[in-house]
Amino acid sequence: MFFTLRTSAFNFLSIGYTILILSSTLALRFLEFQPSESHDDPVQVNVLRLKWHLNLDCVEMEERKWEDLEFDCLVNVLGRVGMESLLLHVPFVCRSWHEASRSPSCWKHLVFPQDIHLTWDVTLIDKFEDYYEIHNCSEDAFIKFVVGRSHGNCTVLSLPNDCSEEVLKYIADKCPALISLSLPADHFLSSESLSILPTLIGKWEHLENLWLGSSDYLVNIITEITLACSKFSGLSVSSATIREEEASAIVTNLPNIKSLILRGARMDLENLVIILQGCKNLVHLDVRDCRGFISDDERVLELASNIKTFMCEGSMLDDDEDNHQCFVNEY
Amino acid sequence: MSSSTDSPTLTTETTQLSPQPDTETAKPTKKITLKSSDNQIFEVEESVAMEFATVKSFFEDSPSTDTVPLPNVTAKPLSQVIEFCKEQIKFKANPDEAQKKKYNAEFVTEKSDKDLVDMIPVANYLEIKDLLDVLNQAVADRIENKSVEYVRSFFGIDNDFTAEEEAALRREHAWAYEGVDED
């Protein structure tokens, strides 16, 4: 009810402003015929009086309280408190906060914890079940519930580790406004559900940034991005394996990419060179801790010299093949 | 607060500034007088006042005004808001994103919870978007993952739910959740 009143007050204010702008225009036209602007100008004084009148009419003299802060402003704060607070705390603060927490605008940026279901620790889902007296809330159902709150307005989404195919399909259907998407992968499990990702990319035409937890299906994903996402500008792949196939796909399909994060990748020097020669608009390239080239390779440093942020510390030739093999054999 | 030269000029209404000449037109270095709801007078450079979209549109409509009453705004948050805007003007003249970020971070870090909470409605009313972004983020960071009781006391909000309503709220959520689950 507070908000209805307030909204009408604001409408009134904007109507007032329109009238004022119109009258001031008239006043200024009138003034053009005057030798100098004067405070005694009758039109101007009337405009002022009208202005004061409106101002005092629309604004309550009492100090504003947080409960009835303008809805949009409250929503702006609540959209920044993080998923746990938004789910578990904000709705119970008071009535107006409860109402505000239901606004899809609060749910535009959704960052799920990487692990939402662990048997050995209390996770967000456990707390959610506890707060809302729900039994056996599945990971998929929880993600769908939270994403559903955004009513298609979600622009930034960071999913938990290894989402199911079902969740990915749901996201593709329900989040057409996505700008940034993060799909981490648990490296101890296979990321089979990612195989569906290339077929879903087309649903996110506004996508600009993509973080992937593995380089599986990377070539197919990049190909789809080129077809669907005209504003795409940033790609991050953790634990990637960049062979010639992947490097060429990046260069061919994303020649204008601005940010590329391949930290910890297995990538030979020639494949890094392909990327450096092909992606001329890079402003951020992170190839730290890679295996396959050395961090002070002169050719690399020269080719990267025009990249604003270039990071390659900790990268080295993969001369530990034998040790690596021993390690694998041991396990 | 008002002792350093960087702080906004803060006087009481009775000791108000010298009368403005009647026939003078607006000059680039013009000072603008803002009056808070508790009748404190702030004299600020025009460029600073123009950072407040509300004041700016006010002056566009009524260029010959010299005092702007701000009936929603008390002196303390207003002085802090003015302090912030003065710095932003400097960054406009000499853009330095890193310095600006640092200043903005320090500006909110050194403020008490109450200062931040009191400034938000002011920044909102005066339509200072940059400040509102900084404040909203700072407040959100401070209440993130805090209990309902903590959040209420942080903002000075009274619980207007009855015990029954609160219980119903939890059940209502459960239904909403189960509705999605059936999909």
Query: What's residue B58's pLDDT?
Result: 82
A100 within some domain: no
Q: Is residue A313 part of a domain?
A: yes
Q: What is the CATH number of the domain that holds B54?
A: 3.30.710.10
Choose the most confident range, by mean pLDDT, from A173-182, B5-14, B27-36, B161-170: A173-182
Q: Has residue A320 got a pLDDT over 50?
A: yes
Region A176-184: what's the mean pLDDT? Answer: 95
| B112, pLDDT greater than 70 | yes
Picking from A47, A76, A84, A174 by the largest number of B CB atoms within 10 A of its own CB, the best residue to mutate is A76
User: Does B86 reside within a domain?
Assistant: yes
CA distance linking residue A51 with residue A47, whole number of Å: 6
Domain range for residue A47?
2-62
Pick the residue from chain A with its C-alpha nearest to B152. A93
Number of domains making up chain B:
2
**Residues of chain A positioned with their CB less than 8 A from the CB of B145:** 82, 84-85, 89
Cβ-defined contact of B61 to A17 (cutoff 8 Å): yes
Q: Tell me, yes or no, whether B76 and B139 share the same domain.
A: yes
**Residue B60 located in a structural domain:** yes
Average pLDDT for A8-20: 39
pLDDT band at A122 (very low <50, low <70, confident <90, very high): confident
Q: Quick one: pLDDT at residue A321?
A: 53
Residue B1 has pLDDT above 70, yes or no: no
- Whether chain A has a CB inside 8 Å of the CB on B153: the answer is no
User: Looking up tokens 């008071």, which residue turns up?
Assistant: A94
For residue A74, what pLDDT is reported?
92
CB contact under 8 A, B161 and A95: yes
Does residue A37 fall inside a structural domain? yes
Question: Does one domain contain both A290 and A193?
Answer: yes
Query: B130 and B154, same structural domain?
Result: no
Q: What is the pLDDT of residues A287-315, one digit of tens each?
A: 999 999 999 899 999 999 999 999 999 99
User: Contact, A159 vs A143, CB < 8 A?
Assistant: yes
Query: What's the mean pLDDT in A230-253?
Result: 96
Residue at a domain's end among A62, A81, A101 = A62
Are residues A179 and A40 part of one domain?
A: no
Q: Are residues B156 and B76 in the same domain?
A: no
Provide the CATH number for the domain around residue A205. Answer: 3.80.10.10
Mean pLDDT (chain A) is 79
pLDDT of A188 above 90: no
Tell me the range of A33-42, A266-275, B22-31 where mean pLDDT is highest: A266-275
CB-based contacts of B87: which residues, under 8 Å, 6+ apart? Answer: B103, B107
Mutate which of A74, A92, A131 to disrupt the B interface (most B C-beta within 10 Å)?
A92
Helix locations, chain B, DSSP H: 46-49, 53-61, 75-93, 97-109, 113-125, 129-143, 148-155, 163-181
Sheet bearing B40-45, strands edge to edge: B9-12, B40-45, B31-36, B67-70
B138 with B166, same domain: the answer is: no
B153 with B138, same domain: the answer is no
Residue A182 makes CB contacts below 8 A (sequence gap 6+) with: A157, A158, A159, A210, A211
Q: State whether residue B14 sits within 8 Å of chain A by CB.
A: no
A151 in the same domain as A50: no
Give domain status of residue B1, yes or no. no
Mean pLDDT of B33-53: 90
- The upper half-sphere exposure of residue B100, i.e. CA atoms within 13 Å in the direction of its Cβ, equals 15
Q: Is A270 in the same domain as A176?
A: yes
A89:B147 CB<8 A: yes
Residue A155 is assigned to a structural domain of this protein: yes
Per the domain annotation, does B168 fall within a domain?
A: yes
Both A246 and A155 in a single domain? yes
**Mind telling me how many Å the CA of B120 is from chain A's nearest CA?**
8
At A48 the pLDDT is 37
Which residues of chain B lie closer than 8 angstroms to A39, CB-CB?
22-23, 64
User: Residue A22 domain-assigned?
Assistant: yes
Same domain, A199 and A326: yes
Question: B149 — contact with chain A (CB < 8 Å)?
Answer: no
Of A94, A133, A144, nearest to B180 by CB-CB distance is: A144
Residues 214..243 of A with a Cβ closer than 8 Å to B: which? Answer: none
Residue B128 lies in a domain: yes
CA distances from B109 to B79, B142, B160 (A): 17, 10, 31
Query: Are A166 and A266 contained in the same domain?
Result: yes
Verify whether the Cβ–Cβ distance B181 to A141 is below 8 Å: yes
Q: B144 to chain A: which residues are within 8 Å by CB?
A: 81-82, 84-85
Tell me if chain B has a CB within 8 Å of the CB of A62: no
Residues B101 and B166 in one domain: no
Q: How many domains does chain A have?
A: 2
What digits encode the pLDDT tens for the residues B63-90? 777 788 888 899 999 999 999 999 999 9
Residues B126 and B139 in one domain: yes
Q: Is the Cβ pair B157, A91 closer than 8 Å?
A: no
Residue A99: its chain B contacts at CB < 8 A?
Answer: none
Look at residue B36 and tell me whether its pLDDT is greater than 50. Answer: yes
Do both B55 and B94 map to the same domain? yes
Residues of chain A in contact with residue B141, where contact means CB-CB under 8 angstroms, are: 80
Residue A101: inside a domain: no
**Do the beta carbons of residue A139 and residue A125 sit within 8 Å?**
yes
Q: Between chains, do A93 and B64 touch, taking CB under 8 Å as contact?
A: no
Q: Give the end of a domain, one of A10, A45, A62.
A: A62
Whether B21 maps to a domain, the answer reads: no
Do A50 and A174 belong together in one domain? no
Same domain (yes/no): B87, B169: no
Please tell me which residue, B12 or B111, carries the higher pLDDT value.
B111
- Model confidence at A112, pLDDT cuts 50, 70, 90, reads very high
In a domain, A310, yes or no: yes
Q: Do A161 and A30 share a structural domain?
A: no
Please state the rounded mean pLDDT for residues A192-221: 93
Q: Is B10 helix (H, G, I), strand (E, B) or coil?
A: strand
Domain assignment present for residue B137? The answer is yes
A39 with A173, same domain? Answer: no
Stretch among A15-24, A119-128, B120-129 having the lowest mean pLDDT: A15-24
Residues in chain B: 183
Residues A186 and A315 in one domain: yes
Q: Which of B36, B108, B180 to mutate to test the interface with A (most CBs of A within 10 A)?
A: B180
Judgement on whether residues B55 and B95 belong to the same structural domain of the protein: yes
Taking alpha carbons only, the member of A111, A155, A77, A86 closest to residue B173 is A86
- The last residue of a domain, from among A23, A38, A62: A62
A198 shares its domain with A54: no
In this structure, are B136 and B162 located in the same domain? Answer: no
- Quickly state the pLDDT bin for A326 (edges 50, 70, 90): very low
Q: What is the pLDDT of residue A226?
A: 96
Q: Is residue A130 part of a domain?
A: no
Residue B22 lies in a domain: no
Q: Residue A198: its pLDDT value, please?
A: 94
Tell whether B87 lies on the interface with A, counting CB pairs under 8 A. no
Considering only CB atoms, which chain B residues are within 8 Å of A59?
71-72
Q: B153 and B134 in one domain?
A: no
**pLDDT per residue as tens digits for the range B138-177:** 999 999 999 999 999 999 999 999 999 988 888 876 655 5
Average pLDDT over residues A2-19: 39
Q: Whole domain around residue B159: which residue ranges?
A: 149-178
Does residue A14 register a pLDDT over 80? no
Residue A71 with chain B: CB contacts under 8 Å = none
Tell me: the pLDDT tens digits for B116-125? Answer: 999 999 999 9
